[in-house]
């Protein structure tokens, strides 16, 4: 198996099975817990694609999330019951780009790992259980629609994006879910759930060779499409749909969210560098020890939940600032001044160097989390992001790089604000 040294002195072992599945193992000696995640390079964005052979397939939005739900169902009983009987817990999530199935256990890790591989590769889909699931997912979507955090984020994405599927809920819409058929579910499953389009990461007190051989022995031989899938994203205009939107919801205080739309950022080292530069820049605004945060807090324009985030991928990228606030207009005006000040040259080298030292400690400390480490290894495989070189790349980022990133990406022409206000009582 290939061995890669990671910061902190640990060694990651990896090797693909003959069928193309990449198996990645990070041994953690004398730890009781084992955590594993089996991830598919397939998410909510992938509802229009060209399969090997040239045919273009378009399916209803939300189908990746629907499949994730259905794989937990067996002909008799449920996957959750099986893991619980072994003393473990199992879960899954769907994002824009991937679907991941995971478990955590102290005992019976071999049985759990074998079964993880087994149930993900054995879909039980019938007309009856698919129809039943539609009702469950519709309820889930309607529940989220009334949640303030979900509502404002959804409004912001609708403001920013004309065509790109990132503007749609990961679960789809009530209408799109109703359209999903058993045939479409199987089509997507056999197209994307190919071993060569997946990665398995195991973290715990396990032997890499034994783990690899266990997976190799238990991985089923299944027919599939074979070959790479071309994902077909629509042409997205540079402009935003609208620069400002407001809605009312039964909440106690107004919520404010500012978003910037960026061009997609390519994979690999460039993506990690930009993540570091933007993260450092945003710490100068939202970090609890920053001057900007102190000003906003003293003027009572933000609360403890104020945050700034940068999300980037080879298919989309955006920045978001958010807070509850009694005065959204005043917060927007002040935040605009702060961002323009940093873009205009107020990124201090001393502050950036201080933050970089903090990041070294945070990065090394993050390896204590099995989940965070495993999911980073998944991203490293799918996006070609060399996180094992993170500290080296962090050291190279300068205050000038941070300022340049803020100047390039925080373009007011490509920004939008979404506001949620409390429902006014009429009468």
Sheet containing strand 48-50, edge to edge, reads 56-58, 48-50, 230-231
More confident residue, 10 or 35: 35
Average pLDDT over residues 91-111: 95
Q: Could you tell me the sign of the dihedral formed by the alpha carbons of 203, 204, 210, 216, in that order? A: negative
The string of pLDDT tens digits covering residues 238-248 is 999 999 999 99
The three-point CA angle 41-47-48 to 5° equals 105
Average pLDDT over residues 97-121: 94
pLDDT of residue 224: 56
How many C-beta atoms lie closer than 10 Å to residue 128's C-beta? 9
pLDDT at 392 over 80: yes
3-state secondary structure of 25: strand
pLDDT of residue 91: 96
Determine the Cα–Cα distance for residues 130 and 143; give it in Å rounded to an integer. Answer: 20
43-to-93, 198, 380 alpha-carbon distances in Å: 10, 12, 17
Determine the Cα–Cα distance for residues 214 and 190; give it in Å rounded to an integer. Answer: 23
Residues recognised as catalytic: 68
pLDDT of residue 378: 93
pTM of the model: 0.92
pLDDT at 222 over 80: no
pLDDT of residue 17: 93
Determine the Cα–Cα distance for residues 424 and 374; give it in Å rounded to an integer. Answer: 46
304-to-280, 323, 329, 379 alpha-carbon distances in Å: 19, 8, 19, 30
pLDDT at 223 over 80: no
pLDDT at 426 over 60: no
Range from 68-82, 219-233, 318-332 that averages highest in pLDDT: 318-332
The string of pLDDT tens digits covering residues 11-59 is 999 999 988 999 999 999 888 899 999 999 999 999 999 988 889 999 9
SS (H, E, C) 216-247: HHHCCCCCCCCCCCEECCCCCCCCCCCCEEEE
Location of structure tokens 């074979």: 226
The string of pLDDT tens digits covering residues 225-268 is 567 889 999 999 999 999 999 999 999 999 999 999 999 987 78
Mean pLDDT of the chain: 92
Average pLDDT over residues 348-355: 94
pLDDT range class, residue 424, cuts 50, 70, 90: confident
pLDDT range class, residue 389, cuts 50, 70, 90: confident
Average pLDDT over residues 279-299: 93
pLDDT at 427 over 70: no
């Amino acid at each position: 198996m290939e061995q890669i040294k990671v910061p902190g002195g640990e060694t990651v072992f990896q090797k693909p099975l003959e069928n193309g599945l990449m198996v990645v193992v990070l041994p953690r000696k004398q730890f009781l817990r084992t955590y594993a995640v089996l991830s598919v390079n397939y998410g909510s964005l992938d509802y229009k694609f060209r399969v090997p052979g040239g045919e273009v397939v378009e399916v209803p939005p939300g189908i990746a999330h629907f499949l994730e739900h259905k794989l937990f169902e067996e002909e008799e009983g449920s996957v959750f019951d099986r893991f619980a009987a072994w003393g473990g817990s199992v879960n899954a999530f769907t994002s824009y780009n991937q679907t991941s199935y995971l478990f955590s256990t102290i005992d019976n890790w071999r049985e759990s790992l074998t079964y993880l591989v087994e149930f993900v590769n054995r879909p039980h889909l019938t007309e009856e259980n698919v129809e039943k699931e539609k009702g469950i997912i519709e309820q889930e979507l309607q529940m989220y629609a009334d949640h303030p955090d979900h509502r404002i984020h959804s409004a912001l994405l609708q403001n920013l994006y004309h065509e790109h599927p990132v503007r749609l809920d990961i679960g789809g819409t009530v209408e799109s879910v109703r359209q999903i058929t058993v045939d479409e579910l199987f089509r997507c499953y056999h197209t994307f759930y190919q071993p060569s389009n997946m990665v398995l990461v195991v973290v715990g007190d396990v032997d890499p060779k034994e783990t690899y051989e266990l997976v190799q022995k238990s991985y089923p031989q299944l027919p599939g499409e074979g070959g790479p899938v071309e994902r077909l994203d629509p042409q997205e205009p540079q402009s935003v749909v609208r620069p400002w939107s407001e809605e009312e919801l039964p909440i106690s205080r107004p919520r404010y969210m500012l978003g910037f739309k960026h061009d997609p950022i390519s994979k690999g080292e460039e993506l990690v560098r930009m993540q570091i530069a933007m993260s450092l820049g945003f710490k100068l605004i939202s970090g609890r020890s920053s001057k900007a945060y102190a000003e906003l807090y003293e003027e009572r324009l933000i609360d403890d939940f104020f945050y700034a985030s940068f999300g980037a991928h080879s298919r989309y990228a955006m920045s978001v600032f958010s807070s509850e606030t009694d005065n959204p207009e005043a917060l927007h005006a002040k935040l605009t001044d702060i961002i323009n000040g940093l873009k205009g040259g107020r990124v201090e080298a001393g502050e950036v160097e201080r933050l970089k030292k903090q990041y070294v400690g945070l990065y090394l400390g993050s390896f204590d989390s099995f989940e965070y480490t495993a999911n980073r290894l998944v991203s490293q495989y799918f996006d070609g992001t060399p996180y094992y070189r993170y500290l080296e790349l962090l050291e190279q980022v300068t205050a000038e790089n941070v300022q340049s990133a803020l100047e390039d990406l925080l373009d007011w022409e490509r920004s939008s604000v979404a506001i949620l206000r409390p429902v006014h009582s009429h009468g």
